[in-house]
Structure 1
Amino acid sequence: MGAKAALLAFSDGDLRAVLRDAVPSDVAAAEAVVREIFPGAEVTAAGDTTLEETYPPDRVTHVTVLPGATVLCDRQLVLDRPSEIPEHLLRIGAGRRIVMLGMHSVVDWLCFAVWENGRLIRSLGLSPDNGIEENIGDSFDFERPFWAGLHPVEPDPNWEDEDPYPLPFHPLQLGEEALNSLFGFTIEGALTPDSVLAEDVHMHTFRRS
């Protein structure tokens, strides 16, 4: 698996439906969001991209502002322990649903979290090196087969002395399910007829300094 993602979204309802119907957003509105998210930063427009680019370089933000949702891709916005989200982001998302999701294939790291009207209802952060760093709230339906042991990491037959994988499932496999359930698309997972086509979701790019 080579998936990487750094996503934060604010939505008024079903984010997946909004992304399926996405149209190009206004660049001025997008820049205003970046300035609000990163107060005091110098922000420079740097072209356009799509939601396929879920893991931009450091100090680069991709953003789209849609009717009913704002979605950002930025490494600084995802946390090992999502409950430590900065207070100003909760204020920005007041009255909306906030969704955070991060994955990094190099270290098999995953985090995701959902807030409803400012209340954290689910947060998970884990990796094989650090174990389960945060596990708050009831598991979502898409998680339950993983916690039930239905998706174990099978040992590599070419490594006779390999230690068992330290988690009951692979974080990136769960991450693809989380991405599909919460955002409506996947990076390496299979598409369905109602999947969001990430390459069709236009985003603006900004550099921060």
Structure 2
Amino acid sequence: MGAKTWMLAIVDGNASEILKSSPKLDRERSYEFAKKLFPSEKLALLGDGDLSFTCPPDNEILVGCFPGLSILAAKEFGIDYPSKLHPRFVEASSGKTVYLHAMHSVVDWFAYAVWVDGKLERSLSISPDSGILEAIGPKQAFEEPYWSGLYPACDPDDEFPDYPLPFHPLDLGEAALSELFGYQLEGEINPTLLEPETIPLLRFKRSSKWWKFW
């Protein structure tokens, strides 16, 4: 698997339904939103990206504001402990639901978190090397089949069946994308899901502001 994400979604309603409605990207509001949440950064527009690539390099930010939904992708969201997300990202979403989704195929790591009206409801971070890094709040319904062993990481007849977790974290990461946002990056093709390439995002180069005083 080669899927990677580090993104945040702030939603007033159902993110999956909003995305499936082919919402129009508000370019001006997207830029203003990025400036608000990254006030110490100088942002230069690079062009358009899309929802299929939410793992920008450290010197870039992706952002898209739609009716009822804002999506951000930046290095700040690829964190081992989602509960430690900088408060400004949650404080900017009063009365809304915030989702963090992050996974990295190189280390088979997946993390996600959900805040409702500023309160952390669920946070999970897991990888085969580190085990469960963080597990806060009750499991969400889409997680249950994985924890109960319905989707084991390895077939018992495999040559090396002793995977240290009851499921593959990236499989759960794809399930989270499907459940929370209505699309997947890899796995079996599901024609009922959204094609993430159809959702545009603005792509910015980011650099620290500086001032010189004489």
Q: TM-score, normalised by structure 1?
A: 0.92
The answer on 1:203 being equivalent to 2:205 is no
How far 1:75 moved relative to its partner? 2.5
Q: What residue number does 1:60 align with?
A: 60
How far 1:202 moved relative to its partner? 1.1
Deviations 1:149-193 (A, max 9, x none): 12222269785xx47211111000111101100111000033444
Q: Which amino acid aligns with 2:92?
A: I
Number of equivalent positions: 207
> Aligned partners of 1:42, 1:15: CA distance in 2, in Å?
29
Kindly report the root-mean-square deviation, in angstroms, between the aligned alpha carbons of the 2 structures. 1.8
1:1-209 maps to which residues of 2 (within 5 A)?
Answer: 1-154=1-154, 159=159, 162=160, 164-209=162-207
> For structure 1, which segment, 69-78 or 88-97, has the greater mean C-alpha deviation from structure 2 after superposition?
69-78
Q: Which amino acid aligns with 1:102?
A: A
> For structure 1, which segment, 102-111 or 135-144, has the greater mean C-alpha deviation from structure 2 after superposition?
135-144
Amino-acid identity (%) = 39
Q: Which amino acid aligns with 2:40?
A: G
Q: Which amino acid aligns with 1:23?
A: P
- Match of 1:98, SS? strand
Deviations 1:18-61 (A, max 9, x none): 11123342322111111122121111111011111121122211
Which consecutive unaligned segments of at least 5 residues does structure 1 have? none
Q: Which amino acid aligns with 2:62?
A: H
Q: TM-score, normalised by structure 2?
A: 0.90
> Aligned partners of 1:171, 1:200: CA distance in 2, in Å?
26
Structure 1 residues 163, 194: closer, same or farther in 2, change over 3 A?
closer
Q: Is the 8 A contact 1:185 1:191 kept in 2?
A: no
Structure 1 residues 115, 158: closer, same or farther in 2, change over 3 A?
closer
